[in-house]
Amino acid sequence: MLKQVSIYAENRKGCFKNLTGLLSDNGINILGSVTNDSAEYGIIRMVVSDPEKATEVLTGAGYLCRLTPVLGIELADEVGSLNQLLTVLLDSNINVDYLYLSFNRDSGKPIMVLHTLDTAQVENILVSKGFSAV
């Protein structure tokens, strides 16, 4: 199971660059991210190399942050892999709140980062169906 940093930030010019600069200056690597915006604020979700340190650094800079458990599921880099994962989740009556892409730096394979209601239970189900969690 992974820890995701969720950052609530103003939707203004330079904000995302400021965030990435703070992470870079503190030696924190962004492994995957997704950004959702609204008129005034956005939510930036990231899997990073050191989520606790990232939260500390960003909170210290005035950002509202939260750590959230998410799953990282390694997939084959081929047509239909994501569909196979989603089919297993649907057949198991599991709702996916959101997902985004990262990759395994060692194997070079894609990793789908996903959030569900009960990450531990979903991880057990997926592993029992032959998927690899990271």
Structural domain spans, the chain: 2-68, 70-133
**11 pLDDT more than 90:** no
Note the pLDDT of residue 106. 85
Kindly report the average pLDDT of the chain as a whole number.
94
The answer to whether 2-68 and 70-133 have equal CATH topology is: yes
Strand, helix or coil for residue 6: strand
Homologous superfamily (CATH) for 2-68: VC0802-like (3.30.2130.10)
Q: By the 8 A CB rule, do 98 and 107 touch?
A: no
| % the chain with pLDDT above 70 | 99
**123 pLDDT more than 80:** yes
**39 pLDDT more than 80:** no
CATH entry 3.30.2130.10 includes domain 70-133: yes
**119 pLDDT more than 90:** yes
Residue ranges of E strands in the chain:
2-10, 30-37, 41-48, 64-74, 98-103, 110-115, 132-133
